[in-house]
Amino acid sequence: MTATPPTPDSETGSLAPSRPASGKVWLITGASSGFGRALAEAALAAGDTVVATARRPEAVHDLVVAHPDRVAAVQLDVTDHARLADVVAEVVLWYGRIDVLVNNAGHGQVGAVEETTERELREIMDLHFFGPAALVRAVLPHMRAQKSGAIVQMSSFGGQVAYPGFSAYCASKFALEGLSESLRQEVEPHGVKVMIVEPGAFRTSFSGAGLHQSAAMDAYAETVGPIREFITGIDGTQPGDPAKAAAAIIAALESDRTPLRLALGNDAFDGLVEHLDAVREELLAWESVARDVNFPDEGNTDDGNTDEGK
Report yes or no on 69 lying in a domain: yes
- The single residue of 24, 32, 155, 214 carrying the catalytic annotation is 155
User: Angle formed by the axes of helices 167-187 and 118-125, to 10°?
Assistant: 30
| Number of structural domains found in the chain | 1
Report yes or no on 302 lying in a domain: no
Residue 297 has a pLDDT of 83
Report yes or no on 231 lying in a domain: yes
Do 75 and 53 form a contact (C-beta atoms < 8 A)?
yes
User: Angle formed by the axes of helices 242-254 and 34-45, to 10°?
Assistant: 60
Task: Give Rg (Cα) of the chain.
Answer: 23
Report yes or no on 297 lying in a domain: no
Structural domain including 183 reads: 7-290
Report yes or no on 300 lying in a domain: no
- The single residue of 32, 167, 172, 173 carrying the catalytic annotation is 173
95 an active-site residue?
no
DSSP code per residue over 86-151: HHHHHHHHHHS---EEEE----EEEB-TTTS-HHHHHHHHIIIIIHHHHHHHHHHHHHHHHT-EEE
169 an active-site residue?
yes
Q: What is the pLDDT along the chain (310 residues), one digit of tens a residue?
A: 333 444 444 333 346 888 888 899 999 999 998 999 999 999 999 999 999 999 999 999 999 999 999 999 999 999 999 999 999 999 999 999 999 999 999 999 999 999 999 999 999 999 999 999 999 999 999 999 999 999 999 999 999 999 999 999 999 999 999 999 999 999 999 999 999 999 998 888 676 788 899 999 999 999 999 989 988 887 878 878 999 999 999 999 999 999 999 999 999 999 999 999 999 999 999 999 999 999 988 665 555 555 555 4
Report yes or no on 101 lying in a domain: yes
155 an active-site residue?
yes
Q: What is the CATH number of the domain that holds 18?
A: 3.40.50.720
Residue 15 has a pLDDT of 66
Report yes or no on 304 lying in a domain: no
Report yes or no on 148 lying in a domain: yes
Q: What is the pTM of this model?
A: 0.89
- Alpha-carbon distance of 175 to 272, in angstroms, equals 17
